[in-house]
Amino acid sequence: MTSAIQQTICGETVLEGIGLHSGVSSTMRLLPADPDSGIVFVRTDVDPELEIPLGLDTLRKQPRRTTFGVGDVEVHTCEHLLSVLHVLGIENLRCEIDGPEIPGLDGSALPFLEAIGETGLAEQGSRGRTLAIKTPVSAHEGKASAVALPGDGFRVTYTLQYDVDPGFSQTVDIVIDEKSFREEIAPARTFVLESEVKDLQVRGLGKGATKDNTIVIGGDGKAPDFRLPDEPARHKILDLIGDCYILRCSLSGHIIAHRSGHGLNAELSARIAEAHVRERELEDVLIKAPHGLEIRDIQKVLPHRYPFLLVDRVLEVEEGVRAVGLKNVSFNEEYFQGHFPGQPVMPGVLQLEALAQLSGILLLRSSADSNRIAYILGIDDVKFRKTVVPGDQLILEAELKRLRERTAQVQVKATVDGKTVTEATIRFMIVDAN
């Protein structure tokens, strides 16, 4: 399954179809990309076109699908394509799409696998990113759970269980490689319980669902046209493989999941990443920021380190003007152990600290300021408008309002899903580090 060498595709691959949830038709062009450039979605229907890199820092919470976004622009239902990229070891790819959602095709990963197979793969010489799980981690939400354990190869054990009347349960245990994926996982299609259909329609989901791309399952777990035994559980494994590729690493280990969906899969991936941060094994899980700063660049500017470095990535910096950054709020944050542990909420002072750190990057990024530190002089007009909870993604914005030789004033704002959660004006004193 894994490749020791980075790979992209040999040429252009074009796929067309309607989105499973939006019902909007789109054309997606998969194009070769340079080594170390990563997986990048490109919305070509917005002006100017917008690049959305694959990663935990661009992940968005959306029901029943995996979504990535920057600002107000998103790409939905990426999990089927990502499962194929994960298994084939494709690390660098440009995915241009002229709509908001990846084509649903037949509801499985097989059309993506076949189309990329016809195009072919190209090795790129650079070392591939692989990640062997060394530290057991887990994620839980209600009755759902997911655990990642050390192990040889990539093995998934998934239990799908519904308590509806009469209810049903399916368990699939499989070692994932290209052959097993092609024959036993990729053909498994999207499904929905018959009892869920009306609720999904009310919520505006499944607008592109048809009998050709979505299986409708009765309460007993049966449908007239399964392609594979336990096809629903196998599709859940397909989704999990795609969701784990948020890490942009080919995984080695054993994942045991019970009732998990996209949100919990992403939470498990975040915990895998955090475990490797603590173990200083970032080399293979860091995601480069084409137009901003990745974590190693941030550490060159700021004196902060884990667990008090609160800016995961800087999307863009316009020196002397503004900066935009990201902070993923994970349930695994250390402060959640004691701050309202029964109903965790990110402390407002830490939101301000994250905004202050982004401001420091804005003020100190230039080489001329490399030996300086920005200390907070004061914070004015603070407003907390909405709670921030695990799973949220903070978009941090800092705009320079006044700069003198030794002082600066920065207007800051943090948003979640486009809604302002925190805003303030921060005044800084800039001093020499020595």
For range 415-431, the mean pLDDT: 92
The catalytic position among 21, 254, 262, 276 is 262
The residue among 305 and 150 whose pLDDT is bigger is: 150
339 catalytic per annotation: yes
Q: What pLDDT does 3 receive?
A: 52
pTM score of the predicted model: 0.67
Contact between 377 and 363 (Cβ < 8 Å): no
Domains of the chain by residue range: 5-126, 131-281, 295-432
Q: What is the rounded CA–CA span in Å between residue 418 and residue 183?
A: 41
Write the pLDDT tens digit of every residue in 275-307: 776 443 433 343 334 446 777 678 778 888 878
Distance linking the first and last C-alpha atoms of the chain: 50
Interstrand relation of 322-328 and 393-403 (parallel, antiparallel or unpaired): antiparallel
Considering only the top CATH level, what class is 295-432? alpha beta
pLDDT bracket for residue 366 (50, 70, 90) = low
For 78-91, write each residue's pLDDT tens digit.
999 999 999 999 99
Q: Give tens-digit pLDDT for 176-197.
A: 999 999 999 999 999 999 888 8
Contact assessment for residue 2 and residue 130, using Cβ atoms and an 8 Å cutoff: yes
CA 258 to chain centre: 21
* Cα angle: 131, vertex 134, 138; to 5 degrees: 100
Is residue 129 very low, low, confident or very high in pLDDT (cuts 50, 70, 90)? confident
Segment 28-55 shows an average pLDDT of: 94
- Of 41, 16, 36, whose CA–CA distance to 26 is shortest? 16
Q: How far is the C-alpha of 10 from the C-alpha of 28, rounded, in Å?
A: 16
Q: Which fold has domain 5-126?
A: Ribosomal Protein S5; domain 2 (3.30.230)
Q: What would be the CATH architecture of the domain defined by 131-281? A: 2-Layer Sandwich (3.30)
| Of the candidate ranges 10-19, 235-244, 301-310, 348-357, the one whose mean pLDDT is the lowest | 301-310
